[in-house]
Amino acid sequence: MLTAGESHGPQLTAILDGMPAGVPVDPDRVAAGMARRQLGFGRGNRMQIERDTVEFCSGLRFGETLGSPVTLVVENRDHANWTHILSAFGTPPAERGRELFRPRPGHADLVGMLKYERADARDILERASARETAARVAAGEVVRALLSALDIHVVSHVIAVGGERADVEGLSLEQIVERAEANDLRCAEGYDRMRAAVEAAGADGDTVGGEFEVVVTGLPPGLGSSMAPDRKLDCRLAGAIMSVPAVKGMEIGPAFLNAGRRGSEVHDEILPQSDGPPTRASNRAGGLEGGMTTGLPLVCRGAMKPISTLKKPLRSVNMQTGEIDKAAFERSDICAVPAAGVVGEAVVMMVVAEALLESFAGDTLSRLRDSLARYREGLRDRMRGLT
Ligand SMILES: Cc1cc2nc3c(=O)[nH]c(=O)nc-3n(C[C@H](O)[C@H](O)[C@H](O)COP(=O)(O)O)c2cc1C
């Protein structure tokens, strides 16, 4: 997949390559996925301007994929207010406006200005902005259609915001998802505490970060590889989760907790099953062993730093004068962890779909489905052969 587009440019574009033919795509489901990314308590008012609708420009005919690249476009409604500022040609207006000369600590501004030799950080931040994730979520919804057709499901929920953690002990995944989808912090527990943390930060002109968890169910064992380090699914999932803007940490299952425990408290005992390959007594590995899926739910977590645009800014340098100054402020989120979880789903779906297509025939959905079914049947037969 390739995305293009500036935050206040006319549109975002995603080109998704490698989709099998014959995958039914429901535009209402795509729209619902886009709406989930726009929501979240603590978002700035940009999301009130945008109505992220997806236009399909290639790869789809009468609601089914053709096997050709899928091109998706998401219009930036806010572009109407920026046409003279983000113009592809012509000369800048006398008062260019909206220049950013005081780079924000934590954002791409300063390093981008230095690397690309730009006087105005606008040239950097327009692309570094997380607005780009709308394109990835759009493409992710197409991939979700493929995975759903194979009975593979991807969900997410927020596990911490501003230092407040959700206590989900004893809740099933279904309960977690039902609760998380019902509130604007996308958390299964601790809503009031998290909301208060966002409100308190906002009142202080400050921001918060947090953690989200993406869970994939219905996977066969063996996606990924232990044969080459960079093909381990752990590695590819880490890259995907870390590609979500502002995510600075990633774990598979409760990896950081596991690191402090003994082996006997961490590893998932292997138990026989009457009709299928052995299963596990627990899933503390988060669904991965040896770089491959175990067949249990795949659990990926992302840790998001606090948003770097602060109403009460930190110190910075004015890049026009070289003088110390306050960093620039422009309309911004106070907390975007709920949306980051939705983006997390999209990037995980890409990795999982890619791994599926590597292992199973992928020209058409029906051949992919047959090939996966044969593999699952083979796993069952192999165990039957032992009895
Ligand atoms: C959904 C989402 C929304 C975001 N909104 C903002 C925002 O409003 N203001 C901001 O400064 N950063 C925001 N960020 C984070 C920046 O995009 C990110 O910090 C920046 O691109 C620098 O990249 P890095 O933090 O990954 O190093 C958001 C991130 C996500 C995932």
More confident residue, 98 or 41: 41
Confidence of residue 276 (pLDDT cuts 50, 70, 90): confident
The dihedral over CA atoms of 42, 46, 47, 50, expressed in degrees to the nearest 10, equals 180
Single out the residue of 191, 150, 135 nearest to residue 167, CA to CA: 191
For residues 263 and 373, give the distance between their C-alpha atoms in angstroms, rounded to a whole number: 34
What does the pLDDT look like over 209-222, one tens digit per residue?
999 999 999 999 99
Spacing, Cα 335 to ligand 1 middle (Å) = 10
Ligand 1 atom 6 nearest Cα: 333
Give me the percent of the chain exceeding a pLDDT of 70: 98
* 333 CA: nearest ligand 1 atom: 8
Confidence of residue 81 (pLDDT cuts 50, 70, 90): confident
Q: What is the pLDDT of residue 51?
A: 81
For residues 132 and 86, give the distance between their C-alpha atoms in angstroms, rounded to a whole number: 16
Length of the chain: 387
Phi and psi angles of residue 203, each rounded to the nearest 5 degrees, phi first:
-65, -30
The domain limits of the chain are 2-384
Q: What is the pLDDT of residue 63?
A: 97
Give me the percent of the chain exceeding a pLDDT of 90: 86
| Mean pLDDT, residues 267-281 taken together | 93
Find where tokens 């390739």 sit. 2
Which letter does DSSP use for residue 77 in this model?
A: G
Spacing, Cα 306 to ligand 1 middle (Å) = 9
Q: Does residue 87 surpass a pLDDT of 60?
A: yes
Ligand 1, residues 107, 110, 161: which to mutate, most atoms within 8 A of Cβ?
107
More confident residue, 361 or 263: 263
Phi-psi region of 360 (alpha: psi -120 to 50; beta: other; left: phi over 0): beta
Q: Does residue 46 surpass a pLDDT of 90?
A: no
Ligand 1 atom 27 nearest Cα: 246
Give the CA count within 13 Å in the CB-facing half-sphere of 21. Answer: 6
For residues 275 and 267, give the distance between their C-alpha atoms in angstroms, rounded to a whole number: 23
Q: What is the pLDDT of residue 44?
A: 82
Q: Does residue 47 surpass a pLDDT of 90?
A: no
Amino acid, single-letter form, for residue 108: A
Q: What is the pLDDT of residue 84?
A: 85
Spacing, Cα 131 to ligand 1 middle (Å) = 9
Q: Does residue 70 surpass a pLDDT of 70?
A: yes
- Of 31-35, 48-52, 53-57, 153-157, least confident by mean pLDDT is 48-52
Ligand 1 atom 4 nearest Cα: 130
Q: Other CB atoms closer than 10 Å to residue 5's CB: what's the count?
A: 23
CB 343 within 8 A of CB 134: no
For residues 74 and 10, give the distance between their C-alpha atoms in angstroms, rounded to a whole number: 9
| Mean pLDDT, residues 258-272 taken together | 97
- Of 67-76, 254-263, 267-276, least confident by mean pLDDT is 267-276
More confident residue, 54 or 78: 54
Residues lining ligand 1, CB < 6 A?
44, 107-108, 128-130, 133, 244-246, 307-309, 332-333, 336, 339-340, 343
The dihedral over CA atoms of 340, 346, 352, 355, expressed in degrees to the nearest 10, equals -120
The answer regarding whether domain 2-384 maps to CATH 3.60.150.10 reads: yes
Spacing, Cα 308 to ligand 1 middle (Å) = 7
| Mean pLDDT, residues 154-173 taken together | 98
More confident residue, 98 or 238: 238
Q: What is the pLDDT of residue 384?
A: 77
Confidence of residue 85 (pLDDT cuts 50, 70, 90): confident
Find where tokens 């998401």 sit. 74
Burial class of residue 249, CB neighbours in 10 A (0-12, 13-18, 19+): middle
* 129 CA: nearest ligand 1 atom: 17
What does the pLDDT look like over 305-323, one tens digit per residue?
999 999 999 999 999 999 9
In three-state secondary structure terms, 38 is helix
Long-range contacts of 114-119, Cβ-Cβ distance < 8 Å, separation of 24 or more: 119/319, 119/320
CB 23 within 8 A of CB 65: yes
256's tokens: 């950081």
In three-state secondary structure terms, 298 is strand
Spacing, Cα 60 to ligand 1 middle (Å) = 32
Mean pLDDT of the chain: 95
3-state helix, strand, coil in the chain (%, to 5): 35, 20, 45
Confidence of residue 329 (pLDDT cuts 50, 70, 90): very high
CB 268 within 8 A of CB 284: yes
Spacing, Cα 187 to ligand 1 middle (Å) = 20
Ligand 1 atom 28 nearest Cα: 130
Q: What is the pLDDT of residue 199?
A: 97
Phi-psi region of 104 (alpha: psi -120 to 50; beta: other; left: phi over 0): beta
What does the pLDDT look like over 129-155, one tens digit per residue?
999 999 999 999 999 999 999 999 999
Q: Which residues lie below 8 Å from residue 380, measured CB to CB, with a gap of 6+? A: 275, 276, 277
Q: What is the pLDDT of residue 98?
A: 84
In which element (H, E) is residue 55 found?
A: strand 54-58
Ligand 1, residues 185, 333, 334, 342: which to mutate, most atoms within 8 A of Cβ?
333
For residues 314 and 334, give the distance between their C-alpha atoms in angstroms, rounded to a whole number: 15
Q: Other CB atoms closer than 10 Å to residue 268's CB: what's the count?
A: 18
Spacing, Cα 115 to ligand 1 middle (Å) = 19
Q: Which residues lie below 8 Å from residue 243, measured CB to CB, with a gap of 6+? A: 347
For residues 382 and 276, give the distance between their C-alpha atoms in angstroms, rounded to a whole number: 8
* 40 CA: nearest ligand 1 atom: 1
Spacing, Cα 147 to ligand 1 middle (Å) = 28
